[in-house]
Amino acid sequence: MSLVLALETSCDDTSAAVVRGGEVLASLVSSQHELHAPYGGIVPEVASRRHAELLDGMVAEALAEAATGWDDLDAVAVTQGPGLIGSLLVGLAAAKAIAYRRRLPLVAVNHLQGHVAANYALGVQAPFVCLVASGGHTLLAVVEEGVRYRVAARTMDDAAGEAFDKGARLLGLGYPGGRELDALAARGDPRFARFPRAARRGRDFSFSGLKTALLYDLRERDPGEIEAHRADIAASYQAAIVAQLVEKTVAAAAGEGLRRVALAGGVAANAGLRAAMTERCAVEGLELTLPPVVLCTDNAAMVAACGWRVLRLRGPSPLDEPVSPRAVWPRHGGG
Amino acid sequence: MNMLAIDTSTNWLTVAVGDETVCKRSFSQSIGNRHAEQLAVIVRELMTGLALETSALDAVGVVVGPGSFTGLRVGISFAQGLALPLGVRTVAINALDALSHQASGLSGQRISPLIDARKGQVYAALYNVGQGHPIPASPQVAMAPAEWLSGLPKGTLVIGNGVETYREMIRHDCRHLVMLEENIITISPPNLYKLCTVAVAAGETLDPGGLEACYIRQADAVCQKDGI
């Protein structure tokens, strides 16, 4: 079975993993949330510095945890983008050096396709519809086979994670906002306030109107009412985001004639989304794969899972491969 | 002993490969910000040209700053990625020290390398030359060039890419300083390589994890938050 070392440094989590076939032998993630919390958001230069401080130690630790030697490896996979350019460069430079030194194939991986591939570690079989939702991206991928994907829908404005984070900021919550909002919403009444459930018709997502609706809603309430009902407002706002994600995903599965649905990306860690998607898929008779939270947020195990498939499909990446911080996933175009 | 030395601290990419005494092959060119793309390819070319396997490397040297934040990280991450699987030692080279060494055989008793730090600043330090060797005579700083240069002793030789950026200002406002007709813009491969060999001979080597960037300046957001 193939043994892949993977590095993921696209944003604010430093991660190294060793994966054999579908088995995750080691997956280390060092979160930088506390480092960025004082700034209320991710500071790219701070993130890059921390990646550079941690990555080599995490690679050594991942190999040790996997009880693997350098000689056992078959490939080195690394996130190419999208992400923060300075952060991506740390991972790519290290991965190239390791690949060159060990004469291993280097595989540059699209971060979003990596998120989808996290589901392979759980044994999900293609074809399936995968909702990829994070702080920077929201799309529905139709996974036809391996890493051959087609994008069936994407957001026209904000990403779902962005809507969570901006909503959290409006509600005066701490950082990371999405997680705080999810925790608060669990204690609230989702029927307290009405927010638009699907801002636009059609298959694509839209969240910017929802954020504006929250802003107006809060303006119309006095501070005492907001204080008393913060959890209710959070629950109502979250329910509106979740409803859109669930409805469009289920509609895409129906439209594509597929019975399997999977989640991927940091927003897939949202407890409200997981509960609502589970309930709705059960009603619709859809088979749902919910990756554990550690495989939803950024991690290198997903990069390894994707990398091996990309390597088999397209071959290795050249040593002069650049980072691709603004990489997109074309609506029509396979892996 | 075989060694590889890397400098990605400015818009130049410099790579040198050699044995225990001398640099045998090198590359040094202005490449903008394409270090991450070019570095591995250039290293492979130089190593192949010498018929050297990476397993034959005994040490990896890298310039750790001050300089371009991103460039430093590319160089250090690459050096660590090479050294970690090799199980070899690394050498950290300071950019201002290296530039001062390059000029220490030239005229003058005092040298101040200036590295363009962008944002209207230079990374700088002052060195006294004694018996052909530069001896640090100040801390390494990041500050506005006018402020730094006005405090330098008369006759100090200024070098580095900061001289290119602020040449007109130095010519008009800093007549107490000396510039070379042919300025030293970047760390040369032989100089870089020699400094690495000296460090190895002196046992001044590090585990790969011991390589740390010498940023001098904090990230902008940190400066703003802390009121720096």
* A71-85 tens-digit pLDDT: 999 999 999 999 999
- Residues composing chain A: 335
Are residues A101 and B82, on separate chains, in Cβ contact within 8 Å?
A: yes
- In order along its 228 residues, chain B shows pLDDT tens digits of 999 999 999 999 999 999 988 999 999 999 999 999 999 999 999 999 999 999 999 999 999 999 999 999 999 999 999 999 878 999 999 999 999 999 988 767 899 999 999 999 999 999 999 888 999 999 999 999 999 999 999 999 999 999 999 999 999 999 999 999 999 999 999 999 999 999 999 999 999 999 999 999 988 777 777 766
Is A48 part of the contact surface with chain B (CB cutoff 8 Å)? yes
The DSSP secondary structure of A199-237, one letter per residue, reads SSSSSSB--HHHHHHHHHHHHHS-HHHHHHHHHHHHHHH
Question: Which of B47, B54, B68, B78 would best serve as a mutation to test chain A binding (most A beta carbons within 10 A)?
Answer: B78
The pLDDT tens digits of the residues spanning A297-335 come to 999 999 999 999 999 989 999 999 999 888 776 554 444
Same domain, A137 and A277: yes
Does an H or E element contain A197, and which? none
Same domain, A107 and A138: no
Same domain, A139 and A278: yes
ipTM value: 0.95
Among the partner-chain residues A38, A93, A320, the one whose CB lies closest to the CB of B77 is A93
Q: Is residue A328 part of a domain?
A: no
pLDDT at residue A200, as a whole number: 56
- CATH numbers and ranges of domains, chain B: 3-95+188-225 (3.30.420.40), 96-179 (3.30.420.40)
Q: Which two tokens stand for residue A246?
A: 């669930």
- A contacts of B209 (beta carbons < 8 Å): 56-57, 60
Same domain, A134 and A109: no
pLDDT at residue B96, as a whole number: 98
Confidence of residue A296 (pLDDT cuts 50, 70, 90): very high
pTM here?
0.92
Q: How far is CA A191 from the centre of its chain?
A: 28
Closest chain B residue to A322 measured between Cα atoms?
B37
Q: Is residue A239 part of a domain?
A: yes
- B contacts of A98 (beta carbons < 8 Å): 81-82, 84-85
> Which range marks the domain in which residue A309 is found?
3-117+295-314
Same domain, A176 and A27: no
Are residues A98 and B208, on separate chains, in Cβ contact within 8 Å?
A: no
CATH classification of the domain holding A32: 3.30.420.40
Among the partner-chain residues A38, A43, A53, the one whose CB lies closest to the CB of B219 is A43
Same domain, A58 and A204: no
Are residues B70 and A320, on separate chains, in Cβ contact within 8 Å?
A: no
Are residues B38 and A320, on separate chains, in Cβ contact within 8 Å?
A: yes
A-to-B residue pairs, Cβ atoms closer than 8 angstroms: 106
